[in-house]
Amino acid sequence: MRPLFALLVVASLAVAAPVPKAIKAKLKDYYPLADGAEWEYSLGQETVLIKATEVTAKDDVTTAKLVTTLGGKSVADETIRVDSAGVFRTHINKTQIDPPVPVMKFGLTADEGWEVKAKVNSAELTGKFTLKSAEKVKVQAGEYDAVQVVGDCTLSGTQTRTKWWIAEGVGIVRMEFEIGGTASSTFELKKYTPGKAK
């Protein structure tokens, strides 16, 4: 369960309206990466903390290691790359994702999506992610205008569905995921602390 949890969760975080055209040029601002940035989420009665470390930026490519802690203990980490094409998850717990999974692609409008086919060790992930809409989303940290990304995938034979609401300058403010059509969890942003840009 730990690899599945890591792949889906590390993140593996109103009135609907079409995605504004302006978002096409600004999507990269929806996934900020800076050293020390922290996202604190509620997961039921638990608190999940994700922190950006080892951030590097060169030639319009930014990479960062995101460390997830639950109950004060590190449970997973991932490496994220942001470039001109989009946001890509390249490693889970130091294990390479082959090829990197696009978490978000730039230059899209509502209902456009992208196919995913990748492996993490022997676990195979296949499916599709779709940029669905822009919404007003109210969470513990406040109210945000957020674009929504929906993923319908199969991970080693298990059906999964994820929904992310991503706000400009903040990142994921809410995330829902469902495994096998039964087990489901919701992450809700409690606090975001910007990091220090180099």
| Per-residue pLDDT reduced to its tens digit, 84-108 | 888 899 999 989 999 999 888 888 8
Residue 54 lies in a domain: yes
pTM of the model: 0.82
Q: The domain spanning residue 107 has which CATH number?
A: 2.40.360
Q: Cβ-count burial of 69 within 10 angstroms (0-12 exposed, 13-18 middle, 19+ buried)? A: middle
For the segment 182-194, the average pLDDT, to the nearest whole number, is 89
Cα separations (Å) of 105 from 10, 23, 32, 46, 98?
Answer: 18, 12, 14, 31, 17
What pLDDT is stored for residue 27 in this prediction?
63
Interatomic CA distance for residues 197 and 30, integer angstroms: 15
Sign of CA pseudo-dihedral 15, 46, 54, 194 = positive
Residue 26's pLDDT band, with cuts at 50, 70 and 90, is: low
Q: What is the mean pLDDT of the chain?
A: 83
- Which has the closest alpha carbon to 172: 139, 196, 197? 139
| Amino acid type, 34 | A
Q: Identify whether 50 is part of a domain.
A: yes
196 in any annotated domain: no
163 within some domain = yes
pLDDT value at residue 183: 67
Total domain count for the chain? Answer: 1
Q: Which domain does 64 fall in, by range?
A: 2-190
Query: Does residue 41 carry a pLDDT above 50?
Result: yes
Residue 198 forms part of a structural domain: no
Per-residue pLDDT, 132: 80
Answer yes or no: is pLDDT of 3 > 60. Answer: no
Query: Across the chain, how many H-helices and E-strands are there?
Result: 2, 12
- Mean pLDDT for 146-166 is 90
Residue 75 lies in a domain: yes
pLDDT at residue 29, rounded to an integer: 73
Please report the pLDDT score of residue 198 as a whole number: 59
Report how far apart, in Å, the C-alpha atoms of 164 and of each of 30, 147, 155, 196 are.
12, 8, 18, 25
Q: Is residue 89 part of a domain?
A: yes
**Which H/E stretch holds residue 194?**
none
Domain membership of residue 77 (yes or no) is: yes
Selected residue with higher pLDDT from 19 and 89: 89
